């Protein structure tokens, strides 16, 4: 059985004191959770949040990283830096990175390899825009993202990853893929792992999260689907009670 994983992507929100307070609230509100719980604050908040959740059931995640170990890359953060801050998971290839900051399959792949080499666990984001869905290209886009992200990765490396399916048209818009739409794409992702990349064992083991406006009131129905193993949560992760409602679902 795949353990469910609910990760909160705080994006560019919360000052250091606010982040530490929210982290403590998440720890308290999700006590006893059967799902794995991850919170991903901004870089500057990682030490404070790490201290707030130290020794608890909540894991620390980062929102991105650079693929080089060090060098003249102003404003970037390496995998080793994240490890030294106590980070366990790192989000890679989020749609906002693709849309605003020129992320490509090639850079996603480099980042995934760098994360794994440092002992981090990547949350690899894939998903189509509204125009791509309306053009009937959902499967082509998602397959391209998955195959590109996993290029050159061994079976053992693939088993250390999580995939987050985020229909871009449903992020921050209030629109949500129906459970049936989400399940269809999640099953397709698992099929891509099975048929194109790694075979049955890896396809059955890799967790695939849903990442498009999941909230407490729709989480249960989404998570009831056989191939949806959790959520990558944006806005609803910024209040401990809202986030806990999803974890409890």
Structural domains of the chain, ranges and CATH numbers in brackets: 5-65+76-248 (3.20.20.70)
In whole angstroms, give the CA distance from residue 64 to residue 53. Answer: 20
pLDDT tens, residue by residue, 199-225: 999 999 999 999 988 999 999 999 999
Which among 66, 103, 166, 186 is annotated as catalytic? 166
Q: pLDDT over 70 for what percent of the chain?
A: 100
pLDDT in tens, 84-108: 999 999 999 999 999 999 999 999 9
Distance, CA of 239 to CA of 46 (rounded, Å): 18
Say how far apart CA 136 and CA 53 lie, in whole Å: 43
Q: What are phi and psi of 220, to 5 degrees?
A: -60, -45
State pTM to two decimals: 0.96
| Three-state secondary structure call for residue 31 | coil
Specify burial of residue 200 (Cβ count, 10 A radius: 0-12, 13-18, 19+).
exposed
Q: Is 145 assigned a catalytic role? A: no
Nearest to 23 by CA among 64, 46, 53, 63: 53
Q: Give me the catalytic one of 94, 103, 128, 186.
A: 94
Statement: residue 245 has pLDDT above 90: yes
Percent helix / strand / coil, the chain, rounded to 5: 50, 15, 35
Active site residue 21: no
> Could you tell me which of 68, 64, 108, 99 has the C-alpha nearest to residue 82?
64
According to the model, what pLDDT value does residue 13 have?
A: 98
pLDDT of 171: 76
């Amino acid at each position: 059985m795949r353990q469910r994983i609910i990760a909160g992507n705080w994006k560019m929100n919360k000052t250091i004191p606010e982040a530490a307070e929210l982290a403590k609230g998440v720890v308290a509100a999700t006590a006893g959770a059967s799902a794995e719980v991850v919170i991903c604050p901004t870089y500057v908040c990682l030490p404070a949040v790490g201290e707030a959740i130290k020794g608890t059931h909540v894991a620390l995640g980062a929102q991105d990283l650079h693929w080089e170990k060090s060098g003249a890359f102003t404003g970037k953060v390496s995998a080793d830096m994240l490890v030294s801050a106590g980070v366990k998971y790192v989000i890679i290839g989020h749609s906002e990175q693709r849309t605003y900051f020129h992320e490509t399959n090639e850079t996603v792949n480099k980042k995934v390899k760098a994360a794994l080499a440092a002992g981090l666990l990547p949350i690899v984001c894939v998903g189509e825009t509204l125009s791509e869905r309306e053009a009937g290209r959902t499967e082509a886009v998602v397959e391209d993202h998955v195959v590109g992200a996993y290029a050159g990765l061994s079976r053992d490396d693939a088993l250390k990853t999580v995939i987050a399916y985020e229909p871009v048209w449903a992020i921050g818009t209030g629109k949500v893929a129906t459970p049936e739409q989400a399940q269809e794409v999640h099953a397709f992702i698992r099929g891509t792992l099975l048929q194109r990349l790694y075979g049955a064992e890896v396809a059955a083991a890799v967790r695939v999260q849903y990442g498009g406006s999941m909230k407490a009131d729709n989480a249960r129905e989404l998570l009831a689907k056989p191939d949806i193993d959790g959520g990558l949560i944006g806005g609803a992760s910024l209040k401990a009670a809202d986030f806990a409602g999803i974890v409890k679902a």
